[in-house]
Amino acid sequence: MTKLHQHTFGSGKPITLVHGWAMHSGIWRDFAKQLARHYQVTCIDLPGHGRSGKLTPFTLEQITDALANAITDGRSCWLGWSLGATVVLELARRFPERVDGLILLAGNPHFTGMAQWPGTKPQLLDQFADSLAANCQATLVRFLALQVNSLPDGKSLLKTLKAAVAECAPPDTETLQGGLAILKSADLRPVLAAADVPVLAVLGNRDTLVPAAVLRHLQPLSPNIQTHIIDKAGHLPFLSHPQELLAVIAGFMDSHFMDKSTMPEKIRIKQSFSAAASSYDKVALLQRKVGKQLLQTIDPASVSGTLLDLGCGTGFLTGELLDLAHGGQVIALDMAFAMLKTAQTKLPADAPVHYVCADAEHLPLADHSVDVVFSNLALQWCSQLDSVFADLKRVLKPGGQLVFSTFGTDTLQELKTAWASVDNYAHVNEFHDKSQLQQQLQQAGFKEIQLDSSLYLSRYDGVLALMQELKQLGAHNVLAGRNPRLTTKASMQQMIVAYQDLCGYDGISASFEVISGVALA
């Protein structure tokens, strides 16, 4: 039995990475380290590649047998790059009990082009097969160069790729010829059409081997296929655009594999804000006011590079952050996909803004990759704020700036008091106070911390008008310690009467304590 070399690290939902033709698992190193912050990642060498034993013949059936024998720890999400995408599709066909999901990176279920299906020209694969026997080393160098053609940073990417590949001896000619034969003949489109697991297909729009047009042909195959195109990326998005790829994978994994038994509140938050995307801007007056004031705390002269709009919502401040970036870029990040889609409509398509669907508590960003983090009234929805601050310290460059606002403990105090006269359940989230935030920021390693608190008073025609606004903001029913039973009309009416008695006039008021902060990494 052929022994396959593998390395597993990290914790969480298992993801197994399968490399492409003539490569080995070492090419994943930096990307896999970032992925392993949130998942259990296994990097494996295909037979005859890297440090794995040779397999004869090198066929899809033999390869998938070897993988199934090597990865025995239950089900996994399989990420296959290039030839690896073909391999994981075959694995899903033959060993469905081992597969929870598929991520096809720069892969094509029918690699060679044909009528009505875009792909690599068969003649190119024939040329590689012919030249292998004559000069294997020159053929591999040519293949590496082909993967970075048309990219502005192609030279540096090629240098990085060559260094990674050179860590191991190349596969022998028989193995390489077997891989080309698979790419030329395999047709895994029926597997995709029959897939009953989630599938993510990611391509670069400058890939010279797998045309981005493939995605238009993938989506009609199955409703389970999610697609994404990375702008200005070629065949190596894990090297050229790691942050965007990490974010896309995180969004896919969170959507399909989030542990709903341990994160029910976070699921409610995401659903609430997604449902509120269309109504949010109409009622987010306080959010806009606080955000505008928060922007004024940023010294424009000190801002450059990459800004992270954390919890960007509908993007009503993203454009202004882009103006502050002085030619840099903005990462607009939100956990609600519908919010991000709304944000995308507010800026030109060619604006240097990367839209990332991810959880602030699981940032798919590289270390020291951000110059400024801006977060307006979003951090209050994070259950582990100390971990969030620690992660923000990680992604910020040394001396980078964190600018944020969040709700304080006096927020909706009238609503809390009114409900307290009805029952002992918590009907409003418990927020942090200044001393807690100060301590958490210090523990995370931030310095020069400045915190201020302001109390905003909003007036409403009645309690139901307040409740309706919270619903339109997506901030309703996100509660800690909630009543396990539905709220009855009688208890709701009792709360309304108690609230009106507190105010003592026609209409009601609601308090919102806003804590704003600035700190340096």
**How many angstroms separate the CA atoms of 339 and 333, rounded?**
10
Instruction: Give how far Cα 99 sits from Cα of 32, 129, 260, 358, Å.
Output: 19, 32, 19, 23
Q: Which of 235, 241, 362, 427 is catalytic?
A: 235
Other C-beta atoms lying within 10 Å of the C-beta of residue 135: 11
**How many angstroms separate the CA atoms of 437 and 181, rounded?**
59
Q: Which of 65, 100, 207, 359 is catalytic?
A: 207
Is 207 an annotated catalytic residue?
Answer: yes
**How many angstroms separate the CA atoms of 486 and 375, rounded?**
33
DSSP 436-479: HHHHHHHHHT-EEEEEEEEEEEEEESSHHHHHHHHHHHT-TT--
For 139-158, b where at least 16 C-beta lie within 10 A, e where not — what string? bbeebbeebbeebeebeebb
**How many angstroms separate the CA atoms of 335 and 383, rounded?**
14
Type of residue at 271: Q
Q: Before 57, cis peptide (omega within 30)? A: yes
Is 82 an annotated catalytic residue?
Answer: yes
Under 8 Å between Cβ of 29 and 57: no
Element (DSSP H or E) covering residue 203: strand 199-204
**How many angstroms separate the CA atoms of 76 and 96, rounded?**
10
406 secondary structure, DSSP code: E
**How many angstroms separate the CA atoms of 201 and 195, rounded?**
13
Q: Which of 25, 52, 76, 82 is catalytic?
A: 82
Pairing mode, if any, of strands 396-407 and 353-357? unpaired
Give the SS3 label for residue 297: coil
**How many angstroms separate the CA atoms of 97 and 76, rounded?**
9
Question: Cα torsion at 243, 38, 367, 45 (round to 10°)?
Answer: -70
Element (DSSP H or E) covering residue 43: strand 39-44
Is 196 an annotated catalytic residue?
Answer: no
Catalytic residues: 82, 207, 235
